[in-house]
Amino acid sequence: MFKIGSCRMDLDNYYDNTFYKNIAYTHTSKEVIQWLDILENKLNIKDISFSELVLQNNKICDLSNSKINFNKSEIILIEISSMKIKTYNNFFYNINYFSNKSKDNQFIKEFINGYIQTEEELYNDLLIIQKRLPNKKIIFVGHLLMNFYDYPNFNTSYRSKIDSILRKIKKNTIVLSDLFKTQDYKEVFDNDINHFNVNTKKVIANKLASML
Residue 178: give its domain's CATH number. Answer: 3.40.50
Torsion of CA 201, 207, 209, 212, to 10 degrees: -140
Number of independent structural domains in the chain: 1
This prediction has a pTM of 0.94
Interatomic CA distance for residues 198 and 116, integer angstroms: 31
Residues 146-184 pLDDT 10s: 999 999 899 889 999 999 999 999 889 999 999 999 999
The confidence score (pLDDT) of residue 166 equals 94
Query: Which residues in the chain come in under a pLDDT of 50?
Result: none
The confidence score (pLDDT) of residue 121 equals 98
The confidence score (pLDDT) of residue 87 equals 96
Query: Which residues, in sequence order, are CB contacts of 191 under 8 Å at separation 6+?
Result: none
Interatomic CA distance for residues 24 and 13, integer angstroms: 18
Query: Which residues, in sequence order, are CB contacts of 114 under 8 Å at separation 6+?
Result: 84, 85, 86, 87
Burial 67-105 (b: 16+ CB within 10 A, else e): eebbeebebbbbbbbbbebbbbeebbbbbbbbeebbeee
The confidence score (pLDDT) of residue 58 equals 66
Residue 165 domain boundaries: 2-210
The confidence score (pLDDT) of residue 59 equals 61
The confidence score (pLDDT) of residue 170 equals 80
